[in-house]
Structure 1
Amino acid sequence: MGELFAGRYELVDPIGRGGVGAVWRAWDRRRRRYVAAKVLQQSDAHTLLRFVREQGLRIDHPHVVAPMSWAADDDKVLFTMDVVSGGSLAHLIGDYGPLPPHYACVLLDQLLSGLAAVHAEGVVHRDIKPANILLEATGTGRPHVRLSDFGIAMRKGEPRLTDVNYVMGTPGYFAPEQMLGEEPDFPADLYAVGLTALYLLTGRKPDAEALVERFTEHGTPGAPEEVPEPLWQVIAGLLQPEPGLRFRTATGARKALAAAVEMMDGPTAGEEPIEVFDQLGPLPAGFGPEGPAHAPGPVPPPLPAYPPLPPSRLPAVQTPLQHPPALPTRAYTAALPSPALPSTALPSTALPAVRHRARQPGPPAKVAVPVLIVALLCLGIGIWALTAA
């Protein structure tokens, strides 16, 4: 049995690690499904505030992995997300190297679709990179991208949690304005998408500083040999060092990408099929597709309420004793009648016979007066004797 967190989440096995915590595959006892649980130590106020921001995001989109629920236990907190088992774009490039342009365009289109949904919520992601772009395990079928890791994301206008001179993000995927400490904005995310596109097409991590120099000196430089010219025009529009010269929205970049694909040559015949397989591996012993082997089964439905018996079938209820009738108002000085118990009130063997001691009649009233006189005489004689002594 794995560690039980907050009485609900059973941690199964670690599947990743971020800057401030580990990611576990966990069994959600309430929803009866596997989830990805990001566990953080409440080490300082900044970490806790980032956790509050991240778990507060609720973006429902097929190309976004956003938090679903959260829990706290002692000095740890966690929030849960969908399990995405196909690894990341970094894994894919590690397995296959540069990707075919049409395949890369499918990935970029889905990434821009998810990013458009994030921006529509007023959120700047601030950490777009291949390792944060996950893939469903679709085999050789159409790939399915999921944008994840909103650990340093923030809504526009929210106060920063760090000093303005401290740059948040992953080195190598910063937009030029981020390096200058400007307020986070959507164009910075689009710049990171352009760097990611170059990584997919060349198989190499791009040199952001060298790109800025090339664009500054030559305007839009020529396309790398691995990138078709129509596609390069879209990527160059994402990589402009000046934010005002980039695409204004992810939706606008997506439309330009679709137009570029129309102008590109078709896929090359005989290309090696790209397979996105399960990177998480089998579940550990004691866990199966339907959950832990020791997990209780589904709660049975409540038993139906049986209807009452019809009146004709109810058994007769016998009253053990009958109460005496109410006394009439003028009967207080009269002797009370002894009501007879009905013969059916109790069976003869139901209770042992109880014998009552007969009350002895008190002395008649005419005896009480002489006894009082004798008592007074005795008291008087006693007083006289004491006085005479």
Structure 2
Amino acid sequence: MRCEAALWQGRPVFVKTLGIDDPDALARFQHEGRVAASLSHPQIVSPIAASETQLIFPFVEGGTLRECLMTGALSPAQATEVALGVLNAVSYLHAQGVTHHDLKPENVLLADGEPGFWNVRVVDFGMSHSRQLPLDIHSGTRMGTPHFMAPEQFRGVRGDARSDLYSVGVLLFDCLAGHPPFEDALGWLAGLNQTLAPLPGPVALHAILTSTLARDPALRPASANELRFQLCQARQQLGLGRVADRFPDVSPCP
């Protein structure tokens, strides 16, 4: 896969090109394009044009959450703002019957790249599941990023929206601690290691981290909206204020 910035019809774009001649890779690439093209939300980067082997996306100024975390952990205010921005996108995805299945710092863009003025964007639907498509080409696979994938996803379960909520919990943990919760991620996913790093950030966020990281999906929040509400309540308890005052693309807490 080759990714590069370019100009298309006079506007800056980001082009993702399939660089190998392989039927399976082509099927996965086209699956990604079909899912991404079906989405329209201000916090999701969808393609503006596509061919059999290319996807053209609008160019988003800024950097990834991973690049931001390379300089250190975020404050509770920043971490929860990022998580709420991701949840806005995730709530929309789930309403469309789409499970992302690869939420990680590399796939979260902070559009302006400056703390206090981020616009959160979710990208990359290469591992996604959509109920609208007749065939799930990843069915039964363990595709995902170990540090951020849910245990049931590791077992090959696809399309469970609660898997994305697990990943949002890992993202929040990573933002607060500067590292994911399980050092031996594969051991945790396989049930061989239960060691969880100490919960980071203020105590008001610990119950949220514990529930989202539960091995059993039934113990996690029931929906993205429920998790979002819990985060908003925790922010109010911590006196962090309304997200939309500085983050216009993030829906305000109730």
- Using the TM superposition, name which of 149-158 and 123-132 deviates more: 149-158
Match of 2:174 among 184, 189, 199: 199
Q: How does 1:350-365 map to 2 (within 5 A)?
A: none
Q: Could you say which residue in structure 2 is the equivalent of 1:185? A: 160
Residue 25 of structure 2 corresponds to residue 47 of structure 1: yes
Change (3 A) 1:69 1:118: same
Contact 1:212/1:241 (<8 A) preserved: no
Q: How does 1:219-258 map to 2 (within 5 A)?
A: 224=199, 226-258=200-232
Q: Could you say which residue in structure 2 is the equivalent of 1:98? A: 73
Which amino acid is the alignment partner of residue 59 of structure 1?
L
Which amino acid is the alignment partner of residue 93 of structure 1?
L
Contact 1:104/1:200 (<8 A) preserved: yes
Q: Which runs of 5+ in 1 are unaligned?
A: 1-20, 268-389
Change (3 A) 1:206 1:249: same
Question: In structure 2, how many angstroms separate the alpha carbons of the residues matched to 1:114 and 1:23?
Answer: 23
TM-score calculated relative to the size of structure 2: 0.83
| Higher RCO structure (Cα 8 Å, ≥6 apart) | 2
Match of 2:103 among 124, 128, 131: 128
Q: Could you say which residue in structure 1 is the equivalent of 2:58? A: 82
Q: Report how far residue 223 of structure 1 moved.
A: 6.2
1:41 aligns to what SS in structure 2?
coil
Q: Could you say which residue in structure 2 is the equivalent of 1:320? A: none
Change (3 A) 1:140 1:161: closer
Which amino acid is the alignment partner of residue 51 of structure 2?
A
Match of 1:64 among 41, 44, 48: 44
State the Cα deviation string for residues 226-281 of structure 1 (Å, max 9, x = none).
321121212222111111111121111111100110111559xxxxxxxxxxxxxx
Q: Could you say which residue in structure 2 is the equivalent of 1:300? A: none
Match of 1:171 among 126, 146, 150: 146
Contact 1:215/1:241 (<8 A) preserved: no
Which amino acid is the alignment partner of residue 102 of structure 2?
D
Q: Report how far residue 71 of structure 1 moved.
A: 2.5
TM-score calculated relative to the size of structure 1: 0.56
Q: Could you say which residue in structure 1 is the equivalent of 2:4? A: 24
Q: Which runs of 5+ in 2 are unaligned?
A: 242-254
Change (3 A) 1:161 1:222: closer
Contact 1:234/1:256 (<8 A) preserved: yes
Which amino acid is the alignment partner of residue 66 of structure 2?
A
Change (3 A) 1:188 1:266: closer
Contact 1:53/1:154 (<8 A) preserved: no
* Higher helix content, 1 or 2: 2
Q: How does 1:268-287 map to 2 (within 5 A)?
A: none
Question: In structure 2, how many angstroms separate the alpha carbons of the residues matched to 1:101 and 1:212?
Answer: 31
Q: Report how far residue 45 of structure 1 moved.
A: 1.8
Structure of higher CA gyration radius: 1
